[in-house]
Amino acid sequence: MHEMSLAEGVLQLLEDAALKQEFSKVAVVWLEIGALSGVEVEAMKFCFDAVTRDSIADGARLEIISLPGAGWCMECASTVPMTEVFGECPQCGSYQLQVTGGTEMRVKELEVV
């Protein structure tokens, strides 16, 4: 389950930010997760809760912001929505799509004490 290592990475970001910005507790974390990122949201929530025990984010609420997948079709020269990485273009049926969005995962915002 790679969500565990992702949650550990998020905690490291929170701890680094706490040192730089001098806060002692995280109340809420807003995390953007793209539809094509390969991150299972429920597994991420579970792992976040497990990883943050006895840390500055212990008990913090994790808010997930879902980002849609998008791609560029080389056949019809259109930006199209994507629900899977190797799917077909919804406009022309081509499989020559280049992913342009929805693969990211990032901490967007924090509420701290």
pLDDT by residue (tens digit) across 43-90? 999 999 999 999 999 999 999 999 999 999 999 999 999 999 999 999
pLDDT-derived band at 29, boundaries 50, 70, 90: very high
Q: What is the CATH number of domain 2-112?
A: 3.30.2320.80
Report pTM. Answer: 0.89
pLDDT at residue 75, rounded to an integer: 96
Give me the pLDDT at residue 1, please: 58
pLDDT of res. 14? 98
- Sheet-wide strand order for 78-82: 78-82, 69-73, 97-101
List, for residues 92-107, the tens digit of each pLDDT value.
Answer: 999 999 999 999 999 9
Q: Rounded to whole angstroms, how far apart are CA atoms 93 and 90?
A: 6
Predicted confidence (pLDDT) per residue in 8-22, tens digit: 999 999 999 999 999
According to DSSP H, which parts of 1-113 are helical?
A: 2-21, 41-51
Which candidate, 35, 30, 38, 34, places its Cα nearest to that of 10?
30
